[in-house]
Amino acid sequence: MDRQSGHDTPRTLLLLDPYPRNNPYSMTASERRSIWFPKLSLPSIAAYTPPTWDVRLVDEAVQAIDFDQPCDLVGISVMTCYAPRAYEIATEFRKRGKPVVLGGVHPTYCPEEALQYCDTIVCGEAEDLWPRVVGDFEAGAMKRIYRMEQFPPLEHYRAPRVQLLSPDSYMTRHCTFTTRGCHFDCEFCSVSPFNGKTTRRRPVPEVIEEMQRVKEWIRAEVVERMAHGSLMEAMAICAKIRVGLEEGSIVAFVDDLHNSHRAYCRELWQAMKPLNIKWGCQSTLFLGDDREMVKLAADSGCVSVFVGMESISEHSLDETNKGFNQVRKFEDQIKMFHDHGIMVNPGVVFGFDNDDESVFESTLNFLIRNRVELAYFNVLTPLPGTALHERYTRENRIFDHDWAKYDGKHVVFRPKRMTPDQLQEGFFWANHHFYAWSSIWERLRHTSQRLVPRLEMNYEFRKHIKRTCPRGTLSPLATVLKGLQATLPTLDTSRLVPNALLSIQQVVPLRPQELFLAIKGRRHDAFVALFIDLEGTLDHLNARELLDRIKDAAQQAKMDIVVNFEHLLQATPRAMQILLDQDLLGAVTPHAKLRYRKLKDAFHDALEGITLSNPELFEELPQDA
CATH of the domain at 489: 3.30.750.24
Residue 485, pLDDT above cutoff 90 = no
Residue 596, in any domain of the structure: yes
User: In the β-sheet with 279-283, what is the strand arrangement from edge to edge?
Assistant: 175-176, 251-253, 279-283, 302-310, 343-350, 376-379
pLDDT in tens, 486-497: 889 999 888 889
Q: Which of 447, 473, 499 is the last residue of a domain?
A: 473
458 and 598 in a single domain? The answer is: no
Q: How confident is the model at residue 235 (pLDDT cuts 50, 70, 90)?
A: confident
Nearest to residue 92, comparing CAs of 58, 118, 122, 60?
118
* Of residues 235 and 451, more confidently modeled: 451
89 and 36 in a single domain? The answer is: yes
Q: What is the pLDDT of residue 4?
A: 47
Residue 153, in any domain of the structure: no
Please state, in angstroms and rounded to a whole number, the distance separating the CA atoms of residues 193 and 183: 10
CATH number at 246 reads 3.80.30.20
- Could you count the other beta carbons within 10 Å of the beta carbon of residue 381? 23
Q: How confident is the model at residue 505 (pLDDT cuts 50, 70, 90)?
A: very low
Residue 570, in any domain of the structure: yes
Q: Beta strands of 267-342 (E only): which ranges?
A: 279-283, 302-310
380 and 463 in a single domain? The answer is: yes
Max Cα–Cα distance, the chain, nearest Å: 101
- Crossing angle of helices 451-468 and 437-444, in 10° steps, is 160
143 and 227 in a single domain? The answer is: no
> Which own/partner contact pairs does 366-371 have at CB distance under 8 Å and 24+ positions apart?
366/312, 366/330, 367/434, 367/443, 368/434, 368/439, 368/442, 368/443, 370/330, 370/331, 370/334, 370/335, 371/338, 371/442, 371/443, 371/444, 371/446
Q: What is the pLDDT of residue 475?
A: 87
- Report, as an integer, the average pLDDT of 512-531: 78
456 and 420 in a single domain? The answer is: yes
Q: Which of 473, 505, 538 is the last residue of a domain?
A: 473
CATH number at 63 reads 3.40.50.2300
288 and 407 in a single domain? The answer is: yes
- Crossing angle of helices 420-434 and 451-468, in 10° steps, is 140
Residue 556, in any domain of the structure: yes
Residue 94, in any domain of the structure: yes
- Report, as an integer, the average pLDDT of 570-599: 89
In this structure, of 82-86, 217-221, 555-559, the range with the lowest mean pLDDT score is 217-221
* Of residues 313 and 616, more confidently modeled: 313
Q: How confident is the model at residue 622 (pLDDT cuts 50, 70, 90)?
A: low
pLDDT in tens, 217-233: 877 777 777 777 787 87
Nearest to residue 529, comparing CAs of 473, 480, 574?
480
pLDDT in tens, 252-281: 999 988 888 899 999 999 999 999 889 999
Q: CA–CA distance from 440 to each of 315, 364, 454 (Å)?
A: 29, 12, 10
Q: Which of 452, 473, 494 is the last residue of a domain?
A: 473
Residue 70, pLDDT above cutoff 50 = yes
CB 538, CB 568: distance < 8 Å: yes
Residue 435, in any domain of the structure: yes
469 and 491 in a single domain? The answer is: no
Q: What are phi and psi of 85, to 5 degrees?
A: -70, -40
Burial of 577 (0-12, 13-18, 19+ CB in 10 A): middle
Give residue 21's identity as a one-letter amino acid code. Answer: R
Q: Beta strands of 219-319 (E only): which ranges?
A: 251-253, 279-283, 302-310
Please, what is the Cα angle at 219 between 217 and 220, to 5 degrees?
65
Please state, in angstroms and rounded to a whole number, the distance separating the CA atoms of residues 521 and 553: 10
Q: How confident is the model at residue 514 (pLDDT cuts 50, 70, 90)?
A: low
Residue 219, in any domain of the structure: yes
How far is CA 482 from its chain centroid? 24
Domains in the chain: how many in total?
3
Please state, in angstroms and rounded to a whole number, the distance separating the CA atoms of residues 420 and 298: 42
Residue 372, in any domain of the structure: yes
329 and 409 in a single domain? The answer is: yes
CB 245, CB 453: distance < 8 Å: yes
128 and 222 in a single domain? The answer is: no
Q: What is the pLDDT of residue 512?
A: 59
Q: How confident is the model at residue 127 (pLDDT cuts 50, 70, 90)?
A: very high
Burial of 133 (0-12, 13-18, 19+ CB in 10 A): buried
Q: What are phi and psi of 196, to 5 degrees?
A: 100, 155
pLDDT in tens, 435-469: 999 999 999 998 878 888 899 999 999 999 999 99
* Of residues 75 and 610, more confidently modeled: 75
Q: What is the pLDDT of residue 526?
A: 64
Q: What is the pLDDT of residue 507?
A: 47
* Of residues 36 and 5, more confidently modeled: 36
Q: Indicate the average pLDDT of the chain.
A: 89
Q: What is the pLDDT of residue 44?
A: 95
Q: What is the pLDDT of residue 248?
A: 66
468 and 486 in a single domain? The answer is: no
Residue 348, pLDDT above cutoff 90 = yes
Please state, in angstroms and rounded to a whole number, the distance separating the CA atoms of residues 252 and 305: 10
Residue 141, pLDDT above cutoff 80 = yes
103 and 194 in a single domain? The answer is: no
Please state, in angstroms and rounded to a whole number, the distance separating the CA atoms of residues 381 and 352: 10
Residue 6, pLDDT above cutoff 60 = no
Please state, in angstroms and rounded to a whole number, the distance separating the CA atoms of residues 138 and 143: 12
pLDDT in tens, 537-554: 999 999 999 999 999 998
Structural domain including 23 reads 12-147
537 and 551 in a single domain? The answer is: yes
Q: How confident is the model at residue 191 (pLDDT cuts 50, 70, 90)?
A: confident
Q: What is the pLDDT of residue 7?
A: 45
- Report, as an integer, the average pLDDT of 161-169: 89
